[in-house]
Amino acid sequence: MATTVTGTKPITKKGMGPGGRSRFPGGNGGSRKGNGHEGDFSQFEKSANRYRIGMWVGLASILMMFTALTSAYIVRAASSSDWHPIAMPQILLLSTVLIIASSGTLEVARRRLKSAFGGSYNFWLLLTTALGAAFLCSQLLAWRQLVRQGVYVASNPHSSFFYLLTATHGVHLIGGLIALIYLLFRARRAARDEQTLVKRHAVADAVTLYWHFMDGLWIYLFVLLFFWR
């Protein structure tokens, strides 16, 4: 049975708490005129939205970088006589399952946080972190399998792009793991006020967006590297 962590409460619009009571001192329902806290909740939301907007800007730059790498990959594959496709390491199928599962567990964690189920939020967040770490380990094992087959970075253009694209994606995924660990650390501390709650939800939304992007990016790279001709 899910437990509720002290200080973690669902956010409602206009600063309203359960039962229609205002969460701001001196407030009365949805009216905030003359109570000294007019627009507090709106200001909290505007501040929190900066995290989401910042994440979208960061993702746009990552997307442009991978778009450029994709263009180079396609041009090189179409104009090269020394292009020799490498066999797909079977463990990459496991990698794909792991990252898709991690995206699902993180979405569950985000919804648990919104619903104030703090204990289950921590569990799903920890599970996501473990799945992300397992994904990185499976990637390293895939590299090891290719090395055992004598496929190195400089073996041929396809292998060069494989190592480059998977390594670049892996570095960005490590950034996502660091963000997940940060969320785990913050989850251990009870929120003391409305502003902290709104900020915590906004950060969780931003990290979830980033992780979903990494998930979709890996699926795209997987198809590009082994199924595009």
* CATH number of the domain where residue 157 is located: 1.20.120.80
**Tokens 């399952």 belong to residue:** 97
pLDDT in tens, 59-76: 999 999 999 999 999 999
Sign of the alpha-carbon dihedral angle for 197, 101, 128, 227: negative
Domain that includes residue 163, residue range = 53-226
Q: What is the mean pLDDT of residues 123-135?
A: 97
Q: Is residue 123 part of a domain?
A: yes
The C-alpha atoms of residue 136 and residue 83 are separated, in whole angstroms, by: 27
- Phi and psi dihedrals of 177, rounded to 5? -65, -40
DSSP annotation of 90 reads T
Task: Give the total number of structural domains in the chain.
Answer: 1
pLDDT at 46: 73
Which of 210, 217, 205, 201 has its CA nearest to residue 13? 201
**Tokens 């799945």 belong to residue:** 131
The C-alpha atoms of residue 46 and residue 60 are separated, in whole angstroms, by: 21
Q: What is the pTM of this model?
A: 0.80
